[in-house]
Structure 1
Amino acid sequence: MYDRLAEVGRGFRPSPAARTLSISRSTQLCTVLGLDGTAITEADYPDVNILSLPYADASFDFVVSDQVFEHIEGNPFTAMAETLRVLRPGGVAVHTTCFINPVHAWPGDFWRFTPEALALLVGKDAEVVECGGWGNPYVWLVAGLGLRKTPVPRSPRHPLHWAATKNSPKWPVATWVVARRPELDGVA
């Protein structure tokens, strides 16, 4: 997933004055997307709640959340609308979430989203640039065997390497959406 999002991020051309909102400790994803040179505002839960962001409309060029949406204790449509509300016209939101993962509370674990569900959350408020998922049933097996944190061998012949790099879209472990807020009157 992060390799694909790094490719997506290479298409971003942030200006030197660009502002990024990093929701709940998502700065590593900001780096993956090439946004670490922008002015990053940290919005960490519980001090800041994604359901009611304390920022003015159109305040940011980018909004990023990494593995946050499954933890929203409330309406995920409201959360998505809030992240799009604070985007400037032409701004981009990138949200990742787990689809198959053990239950993990922080503070709670409430939701799972297919790529189609993430696109549904975006609705008509923005254009879905990309929606996807990464995983395969063998990753689930590796995790079930307690090998989730085992380093991936470099040899493509090694079964763990194969399981870690094979993608079967019908078996996602993680999902994401990249959405762009429409520009007003053709002006960014």
Structure 2
Amino acid sequence: MIKAIFFRAPKVNADNELRRMQTDELVRILAQTKFAGTALSVSGSAHLLRGLRFEGTIEDLSYPEYDCRSIPRPDASYSMYLSDQVLEHVGTQPDVVFSEAFRLLKKDGIAIISTCLLNPIHMAPTDYLRFTPYGIQELAERAGFTTLQHFTIGHTGDFIMQRLGGAGMDYTTLASVLTRILGRVFRRSAHTNPIMVGAVLRK
């Protein structure tokens, strides 16, 4: 009977849950912002832009096919720029990424740049760096951006569930209960132990 309950429960992917949390947070931050024009995604993230109700044209020039440190487009080509989970892979001079994003955006254009903090090595050997939200803010403002808000997504409990999922554990009823328990334990540490960090920036 217990097995039947566990295996009939709907399965939820841990990574998808983090993406949903990220979209919800960005929708909250950008609630008063109107999007139009052309957006650039350097991370295959057109779905995230659509989740933010971006109604313009989306151009995808994504890593690793394109190097986001040198995008072959003129200055001020875009009204919005999105880099999601790419910054850690572009070598040891991340400031170049911010300078290039600044160059590509029109005046008052919006950039969303997010990356990982609490995450294992992935896509080796091109996984170089980890960032705090304050590190992203420093790099962005050095490039000329104004930080509208930095954000954190997830906490240690989410990381544990993500790793269990990678080990083959599905989000069954048992896993859902464990998620709630871990959430209560680690929620207070969400701002100091996030899985993902990022910032919403304006040129």
Q: Same fold (TM over 0.5)?
A: yes
- Mapping for residues 1-188 of structure 1, pairs under 5 Å: 1-15=22-36, 18-35=37-54, 37-105=55-123, 108-124=126-142, 125-144=144-163, 146-147=164-165, 150-151=170-171, 158-161=177-180, 163=182, 166=187, 168-181=190-203
Q: What's the TM-score once normalised by structure 2's chain length?
A: 0.77
**Structure with larger Rg:** 2
Specify which structure has the bigger relative contact order, considering alpha-carbon pairs within 8 angstroms and separated by 6 or more residues: 2
Deviation at 1:53, TM superposition (A): 1.3
Deviation at 1:102, TM superposition (A): 1.5
- Counterpart CA distance in 1 for 2:137 and 2:100 is 15
| Match of residue 184 from structure 1 | none
Matched residue type, 1:21: L
| Match of residue 185 from structure 1 | none
SS at match of 2:165: coil
RMSD: 2.3
- Counterpart CA distance in 1 for 2:172 and 2:149 is 27
For structure 2, the 5+ residue unaligned runs are 1-21
CA-to-aligned-CA distance 1:152-180 (integer Å, 9 cap, x gap):
86xx9x33135458362011110011000
Native 8 Å contact 2:63 2:86 kept in 1: no
Deviation at 1:73, TM superposition (A): 2.3
Deviation at 1:23, TM superposition (A): 0.6
- Counterpart CA distance in 2 for 1:32 and 1:107 is 31
SS at match of 1:140: helix
SS at match of 1:88: strand
Distance verdict in 2 for CA 1:169–1:91, change over 3 Å: same
Deviation at 1:105, TM superposition (A): 0.9
For structure 1, the 5+ residue unaligned runs are 182-188
Count of residue correspondences: 174
Q: What's the TM-score once normalised by structure 1's chain length?
A: 0.82
- Counterpart CA distance in 2 for 1:151 and 1:43 is 33
Query: More helix per residue: 1 or 2?
Result: 2
Deviation at 1:12, TM superposition (A): 2.2
